[in-house]
Chain A
Amino acid sequence: DAKTTQPNSMESNEEEPVHLPCNHSTISGTDYIHWYRQLPSQGPEYVIHGLTSNVNNRMASLAIAEDRKSSTLILHRATLRDAAVYYCILRASTGANNLFFGTGTRLTVIP
C-alpha cells in the first residue's frame, strides 16, 4: 500500500478551523483517501473518505489536490472533543478489506 506523510503534531484554538495536511505522492489511480481519528482510550473511528472530488460530511471536509498527491482534512470549528490522533490512509479499491495506519497527527485543541 502507498505511504502517507503527516506532521507528528498540530495545535489549534478552540472554535477555530483546523487544516490537517497529508502527502501521498505515490498514490495510485484507484486508491481512495481515508481519514480516521483515534480519541484517547478508544478505537479508531471513521471520519471521511474521497477519491478525486472534495467531500463534505457532518464531521469534516476533505480537500483533495488536483494531482491527488496531497489532501487536507478540514475541521471547521475545533472543539475539545476533536483532540485526537488523525490518520490519513490510502486504501485500494479492491483486495483485502484492511487499513495500513501510519503514526498520524496528534491534534491538541487549546481552550
Chain B
Amino acid sequence: ETGVTQSPTHLIKTRGQQVTLRCSSQSGHNTVSWYQQALGQGPQFIFQYYREEENGRGNFPPRFSGLQFPNYSSELNVNALELDDSALYLCASSLMGMNTGELFFGEGSRLTVL
C-alpha cells in the first residue's frame, strides 16, 4: 500500500469522448505526476503538478490536461479520445525538491477506448 489511490480502476469509452481520472496523493506529498503505460511498454511521463500548476510535461498533445487541488489531489483529463489512448494511467506522488527520493505510484486506471 502506497497511500496513493486512483479512480476509477477500469473504464470503457468510445472514440471522441472525454474522460476524467482522479488521484489522491500520499499524505504530506505536494507533487503529483501522471504516466501513461501502453501494453508491454514502460510508463511514459505525461505531466507533473506542483502548487496547483503544471511544472513539467512529456511529449503529449494539449488534449491531455490536468488539475491539482489545494489538498494536492489531482485529475487527468483527456479530450477527443483516440483508440491509441487505451492504456493504464498511473498517478505518482512525491515531495518537490526531493529528486533523490522515491515516487509512490497508485495501481492505475485502465482505460479502454473503442
Q: Does B85 contact A (CB under 8 A)?
A: no
Q: Are B105 and A98 in contact (CB under 8 A)?
A: no
B95 contact set on A, CB distance < 8 A: 97
Chain A binding surface, main DSSP class = loop
Q: How far is the CA of A85 from the CA of B41 in the complex (A)?
A: 10
B88 to chain A, nearest CB (A): 8
Chain B binding surface, main DSSP class = loop
Q: Are B43 and A44 in contact (CB under 8 A)?
A: yes
Q: Are A46 and B43 in contact (CB under 8 A)?
A: no
Q: How far is the CA of A85 from the CA of B106 in the complex (A)?
A: 16
A32 contact set on B, CB distance < 8 A: 99-100
B90 contact set on A, CB distance < 8 A: 43-44
CB closest residue in chain A, given B41:
A103
Contact partner of B108 among A43, A95, A96, A104, CB < 8 A? A43
Contact partner of B43 among A34, A51, A101, CB < 8 A? A101
Q: Assuming A41-B107, A43-B2, A45-B105, is B41 touching A93 (CB within 8 A)?
A: no
CB closest residue in chain B, given A91:
B99
Q: Are B2 and A96 in contact (CB under 8 A)?
A: no
Q: Are B42 and A98 in contact (CB under 8 A)?
A: no
**Interface residue count for B (Cβ, 8 Å)?**
32
Q: Does B103 contact A (CB under 8 A)?
A: yes
Q: Does B31 contact A (CB under 8 A)?
A: yes
A53 to chain B, nearest CB (A): 13
A82-104 contacts to B (CB < 8 Å): 85, 87, 91-104
Q: Are B106 and A93 in contact (CB under 8 A)?
A: no
Q: Are A42 and B107 in contact (CB under 8 A)?
A: yes
Q: Does B96 contact A (CB under 8 A)?
A: yes
What is the 8 Å Cβ interface bit string for chain B, positions 35-56, against chain A (1 contact, 0 not)?
Answer: 1000011111100101000011
Q: Are A97 and B43 in contact (CB under 8 A)?
A: no
Q: Are B45 and A94 in contact (CB under 8 A)?
A: no
Contact partner of A97 among B99, B105, B107, CB < 8 A? B99
Q: Are B99 and A43 in contact (CB under 8 A)?
A: no
Q: Which residues of B contact A (CB under 8 A)?
A: 2, 4, 31, 33, 35, 40-45, 48, 50, 55-56, 58, 90, 92, 94-100, 102-108
